[in-house]
Amino acid sequence: MFAGNIMDVEIEALSPLDPASEAVRIILEKGVGEVAVVDPEGVLLGVVSVSALLSGMPFSNSAPAADFLVKEFFNLPPETPLSGVAELFARTGKSAAIVFILDPGGRLLGGISARDLLKREWKYLKKEEKDK
């Protein structure tokens, strides 16, 4: 099984000019720790993280997402085995982060959270238990 098989393709992404308040909305509604920021072609430029937002508080409703852009983010190609995704989470200790899945041109295809991996493992364990 590969990252591309279980990635969430419905990632809400912002443009650099979108208001940072939109990142706050997405973080609160989706329960994620960061929001992707993409260019018009869908290339991932960076993320707006909870930490970046907190370090910039208070900010105005009109502050652009670009003001909080963090260019360090986790990304892997879709053909990465799930064990490689799990290893990245375990090695970095960033279980609240999202691993963004990018095509060779850097365009955002989707994302995987540690929770997504655990859900996949849980389904596998339940199936294994049922098959006994």
- Residue 11: other Cβ atoms inside 10 A: 20
- Amino acid of residue 15: S
Q: What is the DSSP track for 107-131?
A: BEEEEEEHHHHHHHHHHHHHHHHHH
**CATH architecture of the region 3-131:** Roll (3.10)
Q: Which pLDDT belongs to residue 122?
A: 79
Q: Which pLDDT belongs to residue 106?
A: 96
Q: Which pLDDT belongs to residue 130?
A: 74
- pLDDT tens digits for range 58-69: 877 789 999 999
